[in-house]
Amino acid sequence: MNSSCKDKTSVLKEDLLIVSQREIAPRIFEMKLSGEMVLDMAPGQFLHLRVPDPSKLLRRPISICQIDKVNKVATIVYRVERAGTAILSQLKAGDRIDTMGPQGNGFDLSVVSAGQTALLIGGGIGVPPLVETAKQLAAKGVEVISVLGFATKDAVILEEELSAYGKVYVTTDDGSYGTKGYVSTVVDELTKEYSFDAIYSCGAPGMLKYVDQKFENHPHAYLSMESRMACGMGACYACVVHLRNAKEAANKRVCEDGPVFETGQIIL
Ligand SMILES: Cc1cc2nc3c(=O)[nH]c(=O)nc-3n(C[C@H](O)[C@H](O)[C@H](O)COP(=O)(O)OP(=O)(O)OC[C@H]3O[C@@H](n4cnc5c(N)ncnc54)[C@H](O)[C@@H]3O)c2cc1C
Ligand code: FES
């Protein structure tokens, strides 16, 4: 039976219906999920998925890639890493998945308005949350420019989806597709030409460190962070990151205070 209820921390819990699942690149899967929870979702938030295996006690956090509130369908895109995500990749249309969410703060899109320009920077499996972000920014009339970095051509994902909302630049570490190098190669050139009104980024720690340093004093530059999680709802402090300029040691929980933080805030 499908259930949807608010628990005491106001996180929804629902057995979402898997509408479809397909492999879009080697070891990278797109899963479409349907349920009432979709109506509460915002770009940059994540879902906490229970792996249907009794040995996997901890849920797996996966970002929301696309949101279709009309049909109550959300899309996630994830890479098979180890056992938990491998089990998720075996699920089929018609199965249900025990899901908590939508969790986290998401990207603040209110800081930009029509006629302004936003830069989206994504690395590898950090690209998915940028798709819904781009869609909602474009719908507001914001010009969207995306720079996506991948290891190699086979790993390139979501280029076409993001191209629907603005110009997309792709880099690959080995030069097998797009510009050879890291996202910094393109971003450093673009910033000579554009003064971006907001920057939204998600990717590996090294990429986030670059964005953090490059846009440290920008008033609207955001990093979506990853951290190992347990409860995923702010109670256990398994996911803390540390504030850079706190007078005393201060922590922020990625699951509850993040996963999105402003640049210049967190020790990376
Ligand atoms: C906010 C957030 C959003 C994410 N969004 C995506 C996404 O959209 N697509 C995607 O492919 N991956 C995403 N990840 C990473 C994803 O959660 C891990 O790859 C996944 O949990 C690995 O599970 P596993 O069972 O295959 O690996 P295992 O290593 O067996 O997992 C063991 C434990 O470690 C945790 N863990 C392992 N790797 C990570 C990681 N990188 N980050 C956080 N916890 C981890 C697992 O959740 C689990 O509790 C996200 C992580 C966070 C924190
Ligand atoms: S995972 Fe428990 S507080 Fe973040």
What is the per-residue pLDDT for 10? 56
Joined tokens for residue 101: 């969410």
What is the per-residue pLDDT for 2? 36
For domain 225-267, which CATH number applies: 2.10.240.10, 1.10.10.10, 3.40.50.1000, 3.40.50.720? 2.10.240.10
Ligand 1 atom, smallest distance to 81 CA: 26
Q: Is the CB of 259 under 6 A from ligand 1?
A: yes
Ligand 2 atom, smallest distance to 255 CA: 4
Amino acid at 143: E
Q: Is the CB of 224 under 6 A from ligand 1?
A: no
User: To the nearest 10°, the Cα dihedral for 126, 128, 132, 133?
Assistant: 10
Q: Which residue has the tokens 């706190």?
A: 246
What is the per-residue pLDDT for 140? 98
200 marked as part of a ligand binding site: no
Q: Is the CB of 236 under 6 A from ligand 2?
A: yes
In sequence order, what are the beta bridge partners of 16? 97
76 marked as part of a ligand binding site: no
Shortest-distance Cα residue to atom 27 of ligand 1: 82
What is the per-residue pLDDT for 11? 66
Joined tokens for residue 227: 């951290």
149 marked as part of a ligand binding site: no
CATH topology of domain 13-103: Elongation Factor Tu (Ef-tu); domain 3 (2.40.30)
Task: Give, for ligand 2, the residue of 228, 229, 251 to mutate: max count of ligand atoms closer than 8 Å to Cβ.
Answer: 229
Amino acid at 54: P
Contacts 24+ apart (CB under 8 A), 59-62: 59/100, 59/229, 59/232, 60/84, 60/85, 60/88, 61/103, 61/226, 61/229, 61/232, 61/255
Which of the ligands is closest to the CA of residue 53? 1
228 marked as part of a ligand binding site: no
* pLDDT values of the chain reduced to their tens digit, one per residue, 268 residues: 333 333 444 568 999 999 999 999 999 999 999 999 999 999 999 999 999 999 999 999 999 999 999 999 999 999 999 999 999 999 999 999 999 999 999 999 999 999 999 999 999 999 999 999 999 999 999 999 999 999 999 999 999 999 999 999 999 999 999 999 999 999 999 999 999 999 999 999 999 999 999 999 999 999 999 999 999 999 999 999 999 887 666 899 999 999 999 999 999 9
Contacts 24+ apart (CB under 8 A), 55-60: 56/83, 56/84, 56/87, 58/229, 58/230, 59/100, 59/229, 59/232, 60/84, 60/85, 60/88
What is the per-residue pLDDT for 6? 39
Shortest-distance Cα residue to atom 13 of ligand 1: 62
| Residue 38, phi-psi category: left (phi > 0), alpha (psi -120 to 50), beta (remainder) | alpha
Per domain, the residue ranges of the chain are 13-103, 107-224, 225-267
Q: Are 264 and 212 in contact (CB under 8 A)?
A: yes
Q: What is the architecture of the domain spanning 107-224? A: 3-Layer(aba) Sandwich (3.40)
122 marked as part of a ligand binding site: no
Name the helix (H) or strand (E) containing 224: strand 221-224
| CA distance to 75, 84, 248, per residue, from 227 (Å) | 21, 16, 22
What is the per-residue pLDDT for 5? 38
Q: Which of 12, 6, 20, 59 is nearest to 38 (CA)?
A: 12
Which of the ligands is closest to the CA of residue 103? 1
Rounded Cα distance, 192 and 188, in Å: 7
Entry pTM? 0.95
3 state SS of 214: helix
Name the helix (H) or strand (E) containing 169: strand 166-172
Helices marked H in 91-239 — which ranges?
Answer: 128-139, 159-163, 183-193, 205-214
